[in-house]
Structure 1
Amino acid sequence: MLQPGAFAFRLPENLPFLTLDSLGWTADATAGYGNDGRKRRDQGHAIFQYTLNGTGRIDIGSQTYDVPAGCGFLVKVPSDHRYYYPLDGQKPWSFIWLNARGEDALRMWDRMIERQGPIVRLAAGSLPLTLFWELYRAVSVDRRTDAAELSVMLYKWTLSLLKPDANDTSEDIASAHPAIRQAKTYMQDNFASPLTLEDVASHCGLSRSYLCRLFQRIERDSPLAFLQRKRVEAAVTMLRRTDMSIRSIGTQCGFDSPSYFGKIFRQYLHLSPGEFRKRAAEHPYDVVYLD
């Protein structure tokens, strides 16, 4: 059974990749608890902290945010922030946290903050929290200390926060993905046909509007954009592996006209189909994945 605790790692040298400096689970922060990002000694570090119970508070620049259960924050050291137990707190602040270091940590924190802001909201069963608890178990119970092994787990956790569906719970994902997989498989198998949204939705037993909402929530994309990418991917392979005319390739990949084929191909590859075929030495790929 997992228990609250704090665990730190001291490597003999600073490494450029993402490394775990410390992590923990604090169950009883009260009056007097706090950290000032302008005064801390762990310069060049990146911090994630997430509330399990109670409510904390963080000042970031001129903004003040409450951090109740289900919310967390991302900050770097040094920066203009201060997080603390508020004077009007009603019960102890319980939270989990991790402290990462390395050039990759700073870059990835910048990317996460750019995409979603410094305050994050995560459901209890979301992938980032599931992976955090796996990392916490590895350190606190299994006593794993290998820096490379822990870095792999930390990269996986960090990338999970960058995923479009980071805040979906495992139950949400399990219930939604079968329909998404069915739609994607159908479009991959039938990209040469003049498919419509109604065709795809009908095949999956969904309404057109619900399919679009579901696809957007899980994939952060539209079904037709996915179909378009599959058509361009197929066209790339045919341009490399066959001597078919560009017009014929466009037709066999589901494009209505040569001009539309050229427009969409250029949108993804920044070259016309003819240019891509001629510049094989510069772009020696038989397959290009556009996801």
Structure 2
Amino acid sequence: MLQPGSFAFRPFEAQPYMTLDSLGWSTDAEAGYGNDCRIRSDKGHAVFQYTLSGEGRVDSDGQTWEVPAGYGFIVRVPSEQRYYYPPEGTEPWAFVWLNICGEDALRMCDRIVEKHGPVVRLSAESQPIAIFWEMYQAVSVDRLSDPIELSAHLYKWALSLLRSDANYAAKESGIHPAIRQAKRFMRDHFAQSLTLEDIAASCGVSRSYLCRLFQKENDSPLAYLQRRRVEAAVTMLRKTDASIQSIGIRCGFDSPSYFGKTFRHYLQLTPGEFRRRTAEHPYDTVYLD
């Protein structure tokens, strides 16, 4: 069972990648707790802190942000930022944190703040928080201290926060069953001439309702189907000697011109160019999501 604690890492030499300075889990921050990024000694660092219960405050760019449970923030050191337990607080502030350093750390944290702002809402089931707990267990229970392995965790964490929807793990678990079934149906039957009615019927909903469900994911059923067809075409172009026209037909495209137009839309190459330019594009599979 995981227990609150704090862990610091002091490698013998600086590393040319994002590294972990410290991480921890605190349950009892109250009156007097705070950090002023103007005077902290760990210059060139970035700090991520996520509230489990209670509430904190962050002053950033002349604005004060509340940081209740389910919210996290990122600050740089040094900067004109500070975070603290509010004077009016009534419950201890429980939180987890990462203190990271290196040029990559600052660069990636700046990109995260550009995308989400200094304070970001994250469900407890979100991928960034799940990765934090994986790292915390590796450090506190398994005693992981290898800087390269720790950095691999950090890059995974930072990239998960760079997604447009940092809560994507929670979102994924809540995908509507009709969307799951529709996607499965299109993956299995992409070679057939499918209509919206066919796809909707496969999951027992109307075409209009299915389109509304996909719109919530900023997608459409036919766009999803197109991507699966192009992916299949890429593999056939690489692994078979079949003609481009026959590959288009076998992947569900009604005409060679439509096949070429759609393929170029996604890969910026015609099917023939992709097949010829093996040295520049040596892969047999391309994922378009």
| Same topology, TM > 0.5 | yes
Instruction: Quickly say closer, same or farther: Cα 1:283–1:25, change in 2 above 3 A.
Output: closer
Q: What do residues 150-169 of structure 1 show as CA deviations (whole Å, max 9, x unaligned)?
A: 33333333333345664256
Q: What do residues 125-184 of structure 1 show as CA deviations (whole Å, max 9, x unaligned)?
A: 3333233223223323333323233333333333333456642566x6445376554333
Aligned to 1:205: 204
Aligned to 1:107: 107
Question: What is the identity, as a one-letter code, of the residue corresponding to 1:2?
Answer: L
Structure 2 residue 59 is matched with structure 1 residue 59:
yes
**Alignment gaps of 5+ in structure 1:** none
1:113 match: secondary structure:
helix
Deviation at 1:58, TM superposition (A): 0.8
Residue from 230, 233, 237 that aligns with 1:232: 230
Q: What do residues 90-142 of structure 1 show as CA deviations (whole Å, max 9, x unaligned)?
A: 33222111112233323332332233222111222333323322322332333
Residues 26-41 of structure 1 mapped to structure 2, 5 A cutoff: 26-41=26-41
Question: What is the identity, as a one-letter code, of the residue corresponding to 1:132?
Answer: F
2:175 match: secondary structure:
helix
Aligned to 1:79: 79
User: For the Cα contact (< 8 Å) 2:23–2:136, is it kept in 1?
Assistant: yes
Compare 54-63 and 88-97 and name the one that shifted more. 88-97
Instruction: Quickly say closer, same or farther: Cα 1:82–1:213, change in 2 above 3 A.
Output: farther
Compare 224-233 and 100-109 and name the one that shifted more. 100-109
Aligned to 2:94: 94
Cα distance in 2 for residues equivalent to 1:56 and 1:40: 19
Aligned-residue sequence identity (percent) comes to: 68
Q: What do residues 18-55 of structure 1 show as CA deviations (whole Å, max 9, x unaligned)?
A: 32211112222223322223332222222211112222
Aligned to 1:272: 270
Aligned to 2:283: 285
Q: What do residues 231-271 of structure 1 show as CA deviations (whole Å, max 9, x unaligned)?
A: 11222233334444433332332223333322221122112
Compare 113-122 and 62-71 and name the one that shifted more. 113-122
Question: What is the identity, as a one-letter code, of the residue corresponding to 1:187?
Answer: M
Instruction: Quickly say closer, same or farther: Cα 1:276–1:138, change in 2 above 3 A.
Output: closer
Cα distance in 2 for residues equivalent to 1:79 and 1:103: 16
Residues 153-172 of structure 1 mapped to structure 2, 5 A cutoff: 153-163=153-163, 166-167=166-167
User: For the Cα contact (< 8 Å) 2:115–2:164, is it kept in 1?
Assistant: no
Instruction: Quickly say closer, same or farther: Cα 1:155–1:216, change in 2 above 3 A.
Output: farther
Instruction: Quickly say closer, same or farther: Cα 1:169–1:233, change in 2 above 3 A.
Output: closer
Instruction: Quickly say closer, same or farther: Cα 1:75–1:224, change in 2 above 3 A.
Output: farther
Instruction: Quickly say closer, same or farther: Cα 1:74–1:244, change in 2 above 3 A.
Output: same
Aligned to 1:191: 190
Count of aligned positions: 289
Aligned to 1:20: 20
User: For the Cα contact (< 8 Å) 1:164–1:220, is it kept in 2?
Assistant: no
Instruction: Quickly say closer, same or farther: Cα 1:40–1:198, change in 2 above 3 A.
Output: farther
Aligned to 1:148: 148
Q: What do residues 174-224 of structure 1 show as CA deviations (whole Å, max 9, x unaligned)?
A: 45376554333321221122223332232123444554455565x654332
TM-score where L is the length of structure 2: 0.85
Cα distance in 1 for residues equivalent to 2:8 and 2:77: 17
Compare 39-48 and 280-289 and name the one that shifted more. 280-289
Cα distance in 2 for residues equivalent to 1:37 and 1:261: 56
Cα distance in 1 for residues equivalent to 2:148 and 2:178: 37
Aligned to 2:6: 6
Residues 241-280 of structure 1 mapped to structure 2, 5 A cutoff: 241-280=239-278
Instruction: Quickly say closer, same or farther: Cα 1:150–1:241, change in 2 above 3 A.
Output: closer
Superposition RMSD on alpha carbons, in Å?
2.8
